[in-house]
Amino acid sequence: PVQRNAEPPIEAVPRAQCGPGSKPEPGMQGRLSAEDVASGAAEDGYWCNVTRVGQAGSTGGFKTLRYVDEAGRECAYYDTTLLFPTNTFNLSLAPTGVAVLDMSDPAKPVRTTTLVTPAMQTPHESVNISVQRGLLAAVAGNPAFLPGQVDVYDISGDCRNPVLKTTAPVGFIGHESGMAPDGRTFYATSIGTGQTTPVDLTDPMVPKTLGVY
């Protein structure tokens, strides 16, 4: 017989107690109202029990990733759009795509370049990194799905200047993603169609679709 533990009670997580210097959300923690966004009150962000050291950019999407390359340089990567191409109308005129930051001085992040290949322009929730192999990948996506163009970059040599290895329609359909621990398989997934497409990155210059499930 299989022994199953009883389900835990469904109870609200206690509200965090934000100390001095915090700027918590005005209503439910972790959630903003449309009014906060429309009024501009949320423009500088909210935080609780952390100290902001530095800031870069004025648009943001779904993912922020950290990587340290072979020479010990520290970089950060973030996508700039919630729904491409709406971020093209941002008055800051910052380039669209995935931003690459040199984090040598966390107080003064430096944007060294922007990745503007097809998937990096509209990755939705798919920007991913293999720390083991030093690869950065994404599949083109939106809230439903987009044709699965997959972009792969090598960030191992100099994380400040990723090297494009391929951009190819091998992901079938895109929305989110996964990366195998060994960095040899990238998984393009679609919530709109319920499909997962593993892509073989053994040779990142020649990615291969392994199937559609």
Per-residue pLDDT at 88 = 66
CA 145/CA 175 separation, integer angstroms = 5
67 CB-near residues (< 8 Å, 6+ apart): 74, 75, 76, 77, 129, 131, 134, 136, 155, 159
82 CB-near residues (< 8 Å, 6+ apart): 61, 62
- The residue count of the chain comes to 213
Q: Give the distance from CA 167 to its chain's centroid.
A: 18
H-only helix segments in 60-179: 118-121
Per-residue pLDDT at 128 = 97
Of 56, 102, 62, residue with least CA distance to 80: 62
Per-residue pLDDT at 29 = 86
CA 5/CA 112 separation, integer angstroms = 51
DSSP state of 125: B
Q: Is residue 48 within 8 Å of residue 14, measured between CB atoms?
A: no
Tens digit of each residue's pLDDT, the chain (213 residues): 677 788 888 988 888 999 999 999 888 888 888 888 788 878 778 889 998 889 888 777 899 999 999 999 999 999 998 877 776 666 566 788 999 999 999 999 999 999 999 999 999 999 999 999 999 999 998 877 778 899 999 999 999 999 999 999 999 988 999 999 999 999 999 988 889 999 999 999 999 999 999
Per-residue pLDDT at 213 = 94
Per-residue pLDDT at 92 = 60
Residue that is written with structure tokens 């996964």 in the block: 178
